Structure 1
Amino acid sequence: MQGTISCARNYNMTTTVGESLRPLSLKTQGNGERVRMVVEENAVIVIGRRGCCMCHVVRRLLLGLGVNPAVLEIDEEREDEVLSELENIGVQGGGGTVKLPAVYVGGRLFGGLDRVMATHISGELVPILKEVGALWL
């Protein structure tokens, strides 16, 4: 039985947030290559459990800064498989253990809500986002 992972992308800057969401359903396979592809294709991606409030907070913070992150929501039955693949991506990118919500910036594991908030408060987040092309300011 294959599960699905949904991904909401916000690329249309001229519409309101609710109108710009376009869900994308991905069929996960045993090797997790589609998860890797989604992480590598997006400058910023927020990955969390379906309906996670912390995922929503990270997304809203990034939207407030002018970044349109892709949001990957994981179903419970595929969580272990996806986390395993995310850890493999994180190890190659210099990251470590993945906890949800996970934020990938430039294809590398950036961290969770705590790291995003800490770098935002210290003023380091915007330069990092500019460096990977998520902000054009």
Structure 2
Amino acid sequence: MDRIANLASQKAMVMSSKSTCCMCHSIKKLFYEQGVSPTIYKLNEDSRGKEIEWALMRLGCSYAIPAVFINGQLLGSADTLVTLHLDGSLKKLPKDAGDIWL
């Protein structure tokens, strides 16, 4: 859990991912299209990736990847992100966090 808190607090927007995950790719593309550049941690390239996945699920993520943190706080996984995108509130969150790079 400490490792997650440390990773999540390093940048305004942090996302756990796997290079083979289609939902991770879709969520990254969604952010990039909005001019947002989250810091991406590929769990399949981390020696403690499985441990981080389990910890994310204990934090409340229905799926460990993709999981997004804004300013160190867990926003949620793909189902939460898609819901926020559909109701229009996702667009405001990265801007408030200071992670728009356009």
TM-score relative to the length of structure 1: 0.60
Instruction: Report what 2:42 is aligned to.
Output: 73
Q: Is 1:130 aligned to 2:95, yes or no?
A: yes
2:72 matches 1:107: yes
Report the AA paired with residue 113 of structure 1: A
2:90 alignment partner AA = L
Q: 2:33 aligned with 1:64, yes or no?
A: yes
Ranked by relative contact order (alpha carbons within 8 Å, sequence separation 6 or more), the top structure is 2
Rg larger in structure: 1
Q: May I ask how many residue pairs the two structures share in their alignment?
A: 100
Q: Distance in 2 between matches of 1:136 and 1:68?
A: 7
- Listed as ranges, the gaps of 5+ residues in structure 2 are none
1:83 equivalent among 53, 78, 84: 53
Asked whether the 8 Å contact 1:50–1:75 carries over to 2, the reply is: yes
The secondary structure found in structure 1 opposite 2:53 is helix
Quick one: percent identity of the two aligned structures? 29
Distance in structure 2 (CA, Å) of the matches to 1:82 and 1:53: 19
Segments ≥4 residues shifted beyond 4 Å: none
Matched-pair contact (CA < 8 Å) for 2:16–2:66: yes
- Indicate how the Cα distance of structure 1 residues 42 and 98 shifts in structure 2: closer, same or farther if over 3 A, else same: farther
Q: Secondary structure at the match of 2:36?
A: coil
> Considering only aligned residues, what root-mean-square deviation do their CA atoms show, in Å?
2.6
Residue deviations 1:26-56 (CA, integer Å, cap 9, x gap): xxxxx753x4322111111221233211111
Greater fraction strand: 1
Q: Distance in 1 between matches of 2:19 and 2:100?
A: 26
